[in-house]
Structure 1
Amino acid sequence: MNNTKWDEIRLTMAALDPSPSYRTRCIDNGYISNWDHDWLYHFRIGGYECIEWLEISCQTEQEKSNVLNALKIIHVPGGATATGFMIYGYIKAGQAIEYI
């Protein structure tokens, strides 16, 4: 996924009240970050190039609905999970992917 889409996600999630928590997985070394709420500064540290996936966790159904509506506008590759959403920065060649 390109930097423009990642920035759209970052700014949109930061603007939600409350902002959902998130964590990412690095495609280079498999590192999974700790859960965080700081979308404005922490999310973009190191750039977006190594983000294999972004997991967003929602605490309530209303928060989940707000996040879903925002992600639909941005139109990103991913899907819903039991507690939120998974957004993909990279997928394997030939892998089918849905969009939110």
Structure 2
Amino acid sequence: MNNTKWDELRLAMYELEPAPAWRTKCWENGFVTPWDREWYYHFREGGYELTEWVEIRTESNEQRHSVLSVLDRVHVPTEEISDGFRVYGYIQPGQQIEYAKL
């Protein structure tokens, strides 16, 4: 995924109240960051080049719907997981991914 899409996602999540928690995985070394809620500055620290995915944790049905609405609008490769969503920056060969839909 390109930097423009990552920034579009970052700014849209920053506008949500309350902001959902997120964590990322580095494709190079497999490191998964601790959960964070600060989207504006923390999310873009270090750039996006090594981001395999970002997980977005939702804590209520209302928040889940708000996040899904953003993901649908931004149109990013997304997988629904038990406690929220996973947005992919890199997709493995042969991996099939859907885009979020309301």
TM (normalized to structure 2)? 0.95
2:45 matched to which residue of 1? 45
1:75 matched to which residue of 2? 75
Distance between the aligned counterparts of 2:80 and 2:95, measured in 1? 17
SS class of match (2:76): coil
1:14 CA drift (Å): 0.4
- Deviation string for 1:40-83 (max 9, x for gaps)? 00000000000001000011110000000011000110121111
Q: How many residues are aligned here? A: 100
SS class of match (1:87): strand
In structure 2, stretches of 5+ residues that fail to align are: none
CA RMSD of aligned residues (A): 0.7
2:24 matched to which residue of 1? 24
1:94 CA drift (Å): 2.5
Distance between the aligned counterparts of 1:42 and 1:59, measured in 2? 20
2:59 matched to which residue of 1? 59
Question: What amino acid is the match of 2:26?
Answer: C
> Could you list the runs of 4 or more consecutive aligned residues of structure 1 that deviate by over 6 angstroms after TM superposition?
none
TM (normalized to structure 1)? 0.97
In structure 1, stretches of 5+ residues that fail to align are: none
